[in-house]
A and B are shown apart, each in its own frame.
Chain A
Amino acid sequence: MRDKGGDGREHGGFRERGGDDGRGHAGGDRSVVAELEWASKSFGKVKAVSELDFEMRAGEVVALLGPNGAGKTTTVRLLMGLIRPDAGSARLFGMEPGRIEARMRVGAMLQVSKVPETLKVREHIELFSSYYPHPLPMAEVVEAAGLGGLEGRLFGKLSGGQRQRVLFALALCGDPDLLFLDEPSAGLDVESRRSLWERIGARKRAGGTVLLTTHNLEEADFLADRIVLLDRGHVLAEGSPGQIKARVVGRTVRCRTSLGVPELERLPGVRAVRRDGELVELFAAEPEQLVAALLAADPALSGLEVRGAGLEEAFLALTCGLAPAGGGAPAAAPAPHTTTTGSRQSTGKEAA
């Protein structure tokens, strides 16, 4: 648990990248733009976010990465003042997030299932621009969102990718100091997704500060300077895309064995175990030792298979029960401590 007496900044491995870590965006002042302090939020019995500490600085592009129900959207909504934390606090530009002065400095792409379809692209942008004191010129918004030639089109007549780019334009039109993108590419095909990534990437290169949520590791890797891995309202890991990838790269060993999960967990190099009847999946950084130990432990083992774990798969293994050892050092190789799917009382926060 965090030491409430101290300043808490070194705990949880979550603050360390703030300040002068030398990533220096040209001209970016490094002030804190958004922060959650020890924030918790429950919906009924579901604890969506649990004692979350989070901080973001000007010029950063941060991805909240995690499966459905990880608390990504709740985190965004807390930071935007759309919901209030049950405990802890949220600040946006040092203010209460719901304040209009704070809202004037942010733009958001939220998960909207439907947008009024009988308004034209231009009309949507014009209206949203009017809410902000210093909106970007229409032509610039249209250009930045890749909507050239579609200004006069009714929203309902647009393709999925175009619709998503209109929502991006609405987030961008107030020239916000901080851009929230909640699952920006959800439901898009590969091509539309790429096209949207280009737009977000352009904003990043122009020095924009962006917080995006995604369950797609590739997307987080492509766009973010820093990835925060969330699972069930807790921070599982945090670091640069390189650091996160280094943690999740590994091999999957599959076999049929009579060994029990506790025994499997004790094998060398095992980072996660998934069991489906007789079939067992082990996730390991280096499989050679593991395979040798496995064969020694169960000579009757069959159907042995070693595969390179894709990033998605590795990520799944990580979120399905691996507790990061020493949350303060996301880049360090974790100790071979594992838990099985379903038992997940240990988190980075508590381990710290």
Chain B
Amino acid sequence: MNTLATNASPSSATAATTVTVTAPRRNLGRIFWLEAKAEALKVMRLPGFVLPMFAFPVMFYLLFGVAMRYGPYQGLSMAAYLLATYGAFGVMNVSLFGFGVGIAAERGQGWLLLKRATPMPPLALLAGKLAMSLLFGIGVIAVLFALALGPGHVRMPAAAFAELLAVLVPGALPFAAMGLAIGYWAGPNSAPMLCNLLSLPMAFASGLWIPYPMLPAFMRQIAHGLPAYHYAQLALGVIGAGNHEPAAWSLLYLAGFTAVMVLLARLGYLRDEGRTYG
């Protein structure tokens, strides 16, 4: 921050410039911090984004995990089992919608072009949105943990909660990448619909809403090809439930999925660059 000449009148602009030649070069850490702060504030002040992001996982968790008391399941109460899958659901939605809807809207409105015209490091934009996704993802997980400990009567060692958190949070990455791809291909109006159309069926078929074994047979087959399934299996694995898919395979699958989505996003970005017209 330039602290010189804070009360300067417009006429002293040139003078201030000459003086600040000796000022330090721009602070990259500060750019990333401000970018993340701006993303978080921007979203936090949008009830239309924040409310559904919290309401859906919380509502479904209370309904299926807490209110309907299915007996012990894989040695766990339903409230404990679904804590992992609704945590995954919450993180997935925040990243997918945060990136998909956010990028598509700002791109369509010319805002991203203006940002691109500045010397902003391009990574700062992505890092800022990712930080926002992680922050809200952790927020959703925290609310679910509180419900699990309270009305859900989930009793697990603190270490298990910590491990679950540690697996759920990085799950933001593949879905942020998916949102990025949607954001660069879909228009500002179609992006929210597209995110819904993709996330809701995927969440259900991956066993995020009701446990995988309760799904219809054909859905269980589809599930193995879905990123949300592998994500949920990793989370369930931590608390000793799930299908015991090899964690390495699920990780590999998610890494591959992320790479493909980033590539798609990149193609969309390049397509955008080529046809920008006005």
Contacts and interface: CB of A to CB of B under 8 A. Distances in A.
A136 B2 contact: yes
Interface of A: 43-44, 46, 48, 73-74, 77, 80, 82-83, 100, 103-104, 106-108, 110-116, 118-119, 123-124, 126-140, 143-144, 154, 167, 170, 174-175, 180, 202, 206-207
Given A73-B278, A74-B277, A207-B14, A127 B2 contact: no
B16 A111 contact: no
22 contacts: A82-B116, A82-B117, A83-B276, A104-B119, A110-B117, A111-B110, A112-B110, A112-B113, A123-B37, A123-B38, A129-B2, A130-B26, A130-B27, A130-B31, A131-B26, A131-B31, A135-B2, A137-B6, A137-B16, A138-B6, A167-B114, A206-B14
Contact of A128 (B4, B30, B105, B118): B118
Given A119-B45, A138-B6, A175-B13, 8 more contacts: A112-B110, A115-B111, A130-B27, A132-B26, A135-B1, A143-B9, A170-B114, A174-B119
6 closest A-B pairs by CB:
A118-B45, A114-B109, A103-B119, A112-B110, A73-B278, A43-B277
Contacts of A138: 6
A202 B14 CA distance: 13
Contacts of A82: 113, 116-117, 273, 276
Given A74-B277, A119-B41, A130-B31, A108 B117 contact: yes
Interface in B1-40: 1-11, 13-14, 16-17, 20-21, 23, 25-27, 30-31, 34-35, 37-38
B135 to A, nearest CB: 16
Contacts of B16: 136-137, 140, 175
A134 B110 contact: no
B244 interface: no
B10 A116 contact: no
Contacts of B7: 139
Contact of A116 (B6, B106, B108, B117): B106
Contact of B10 (A115, A129, A133, A143): A143
Given A82-B113, A131-B119, A134-B21, A139 B42 contact: no
B38 A80 contact: no
A82 to B, nearest CB: 6
Contacts of A129: 1-2
B26 to A, nearest CB: 5
B21 A127 contact: no
A93 to B, nearest CB: 13
B278 to A, nearest CB: 4
B106 to A, nearest CB: 7
A323 B163 CA distance: 75
Given A82-B276, A104-B119, A137-B16, A116 B42 contact: yes
Contacts of B13: 136, 140, 144, 175, 206
